[in-house]
């Protein structure tokens, strides 16, 4: 008689980032989901970030004897177990009350690092205290006429962050219609339907009531959530259309460690960032949340790599959902990638362990992809490993 071995579980483990996405969608209220998952205006750039990957095929070579491809790399002097970082995402507490500390701990357990947003649900110091490793801090400048920018930089240094990443693609907040239609905004709109929507998700709602992690804590004083509305108003001032390259140069001067510029899509801007001493440039369109109609990041990457890859480190984000996507980005000139939404899908699904699950899936997919391609390491990847898709 045949014997079967069963593993009893309430539900099968997610097997892909898309699995996590489906689960996450069920766990958070519609308003939070629109904030996490949607993009600006027609969402053309959001979609382009994904479809750009489909235009490339991977070159398969056989009988190469490649057994355990090496994923290890280094970004701005920090050794990583694989070329995948967690992108900064503001208000991660909307996905799950455990927020950025859970993201940071999941990243370090996977041997990589998180970039912690200025607009995080936990303060600069709270995340640093909860983490076992030094992560990176993403800087949005403070409101004009204040010294908040300098204070953020100094706080990040004092809290021990290993690198500063300045986001430069947000002189205005992108027109995120889908998000606003769902009631999400600087001050969320609470309709009876929105309240009901939260109540039918008790785990999320309890986390919200217990932790109150839905405002940007770096803008809140020690009294916490009671200062929430004022904090959110401050946060909306973190768009600085007046900012120019000289401002970024001053930030570079104030920060003595690795310095990164996020939100570059044009080779001329990549040149400027490199010239002022950026140790890394993030080719990013903010996950299709800012300028709708901006190019897909994978499409923007080759020209930027041709201009500055010999002088700085290139990180790409936008639309990475598979190990094969990571490989294609590295072939076209990236040294590493970042994931934004995939980490939030994991976080919304199961807190820290969900983020660990997402990173483990991507790691396994990377290993499988390199093995099937016959490439011994991520460092060996290059343009010769890609073919234009038919
Ligand atoms: C919910 C959410 C919040 C974000 N908040 C920030 C932020 O505070 N600062 C920033 O520089 N980028 C922010 N981003 C952009 C991400 O850092 C990253 O560029 C983008 O998510 C990458 O695309 P992906 O989501 O397809 O991986 C945010 C993205 C999302 C989805």
3-class secondary structure for 202-265?
A: HHHHHHHHHHCCCCCHHHCCCCHHHHHHHHHHHHHCCCCCCCCHHHHHHHHHHCCCCEEEEEEC
Q: How far is the CA of 87 from the centre of ligand 1 (A)?
A: 6
**Which of the pair, 3 or 99, is modelled with greater confidence?**
99
Per-residue burial over 248-274, b if 16 or more Cβ lie within 10 Å, else e, is beebbeebebbbbbbbbbebebbbbbb
**Considering only CA atoms, which residue is closest to atom 20 of ligand 1?**
287
Tens digit of pLDDT for each residue in 40-65?
A: 999 999 999 999 999 999 999 999 99
Task: Please spell the DSSP secondary structure of 49-106, one letter per residue.
Answer: HHHHHHTEEEPP--S----S-B--EEETTEEESSSEEEPP-TTGGGT-TTHHHHHHHH
Whether 220 shows a pLDDT value over 90: the answer reads no
Q: How far is the CA of 380 from the centre of ligand 1 (A)?
A: 29
Which residues lie with the beta carbon below 6 Å from any ligand 1 atom? 35-36, 49, 87-90, 117, 119, 138, 167, 262, 284, 286-287, 289, 317-320, 339-341, 344
Whether 213 shows a pLDDT value over 90: the answer reads no
Which residue carries 């699995």 as its tokens?
A: 19
Which atom of ligand 1 is the closest one to the Cα of 285? 19
Can 235 be counted among the known catalytic residues? no
**Considering only CA atoms, which residue is closest to atom 14 of ligand 1?**
89
The DSSP letter of residue 133 is S
Report how far residue 240's alpha carbon sits from residue 248's, in angstroms, rounded to the nearest whole number.
12
Torsion of CA 318, 319, 321, 327, to 10 degrees: -70
Tens digit of pLDDT for each residue in 291-325?
A: 999 999 999 999 999 999 999 999 999 999 999 99
Q: How far is the CA of 317 from the centre of ligand 1 (A)?
A: 9
Whether 350 shows a pLDDT value over 70: the answer reads yes
The bridge status of strand 280-283 relative to strand 163-167 is unpaired
Tens digit of pLDDT for each residue in 64-122?
A: 999 999 999 999 999 999 999 999 999 999 999 999 999 999 999 999 999 999 999 99
**DSSP-assigned beta bridge partners for residue 361:** none
Rounded to an integer, the average pLDDT of 109-138 is 98
| Confidence at 150, pLDDT banded by 50, 70, 90 | very high
**Considering only CA atoms, which residue is closest to atom 10 of ligand 1?**
88
Burial category of 61 from C-beta neighbours within 10 Å (exposed 0-12, middle 13-18, buried 19 and up) = exposed
Rounded to an integer, the average pLDDT of 252-259 is 98
Cα(first)–Cα(last) distance of the chain, in Å?
A: 50
Average pLDDT, the chain: 94
Whether 33 shows a pLDDT value over 90: the answer reads yes
The single residue of 96, 135, 235, 286 carrying the catalytic annotation is 286
Can you give the length of the chain in residues? 390
* Site to substitute for ligand 1 among 85, 90, 165, 178, most atoms within 8 A of C-beta: 90
Rounded to an integer, the average pLDDT of 355-384 is 98
Q: How far is the CA of 146 from the centre of ligand 1 (A)?
A: 25
Whether 363 shows a pLDDT value over 80: the answer reads yes
**Which of the pair, 229 or 27, is modelled with greater confidence?**
27
Tens digit of pLDDT for each residue in 166-178?
A: 999 999 999 999 9
Q: What is the pTM of this model?
A: 0.96
Q: How far is the CA of 86 from the centre of ligand 1 (A)?
A: 10
Q: Which two tokens stand for residue 268?
A: 């001329």
| Confidence at 1, pLDDT banded by 50, 70, 90 | low
Query: Comparing C-alpha atoms, which of 58, 109, 73 is closest to residue 313?
Result: 73
Report how far residue 329's alpha carbon sits from residue 246's, in angstroms, rounded to the nearest whole number.
30
Tens digit of pLDDT for each residue in 178-200?
A: 999 999 887 788 889 989 999 99
Whether 286 shows a pLDDT value over 60: the answer reads yes
pLDDT value for 225: 46
């Amino acid at each position: 008689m045949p014997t079967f071995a069963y593993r009893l579980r309430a539900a099968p483990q997610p097997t892909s980032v898309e699995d996590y996405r489906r689960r996450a969608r069920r766990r958070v209220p519609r308003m939070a989901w629109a904030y996490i998952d949607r993009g600006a205006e027609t969402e053309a750039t959001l979609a382009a970030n994904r479809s750009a990957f489909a235009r490339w095929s991977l070159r398969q070579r056989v009988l190469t004897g490649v057994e355990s491809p090496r994923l290890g790399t280094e970004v701005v002097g920090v050794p990583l177990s694989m070329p995948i970082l967690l992108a900064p995402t503001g208000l991660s507490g909307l996905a799950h009350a455990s927020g950025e500390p859970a993201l940071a701990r999941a990243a370090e357990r996977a041997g990589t690092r998180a970039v912690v947003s200025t607009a995080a649900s936990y303060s600069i110091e709270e995340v640093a205290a909860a983490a076992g490793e030094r992560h990176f801090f993403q800087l949005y400048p403070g409101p004009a006429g204040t010294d908040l920018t300098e204070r953020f930089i100094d706080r990040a240094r004092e809290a021990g962050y290993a690198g500063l990443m300045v986001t430069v693609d947000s002189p205005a907040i992108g027109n995120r219609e889908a998000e606003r239609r769902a009631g999400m905004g600087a001050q969320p709109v609470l309709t009876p339907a929105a309240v009901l929507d939260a109540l039918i998700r008790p785990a999320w709602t309890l986390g919200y009531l217990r932790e109150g992690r839905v405002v940007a804590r770096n803008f809140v004083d020690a009294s916490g959530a009671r200062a929430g509305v004022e904090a959110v108003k401050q946060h909306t001032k973190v768009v600085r259309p007046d900012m120019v390259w000289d401002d970024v140069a001053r930030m570079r001067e104030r920060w003595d460690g690795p310095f990164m510029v996020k939100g570059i899509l044009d080779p001329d801007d990549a040149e400027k960032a490199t010239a002022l001493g950026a140790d890394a440039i993030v080719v990013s369109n903010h996950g299709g949340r800012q300028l709708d109609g901006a190019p897909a990041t994978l499409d923007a990457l080759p020209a930027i790599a041709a201009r500055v890859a010999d002088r700085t480190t290139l990180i790409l984000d936008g639309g990475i959902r598979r190990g094969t996507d990571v490989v294609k980005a590295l072939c076209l000139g990236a040294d590493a990638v970042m994931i934004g939404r995939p980490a939030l899908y994991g976080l919304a699904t199961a807190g820290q362990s969900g983020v660990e699950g997402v990173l483990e899936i991507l790691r396994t997919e990377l290993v499988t992809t390199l093995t099937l391609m016959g490439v011994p390491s991520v460092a060996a990847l290059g343009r010769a490993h890609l073919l234009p898709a038919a």
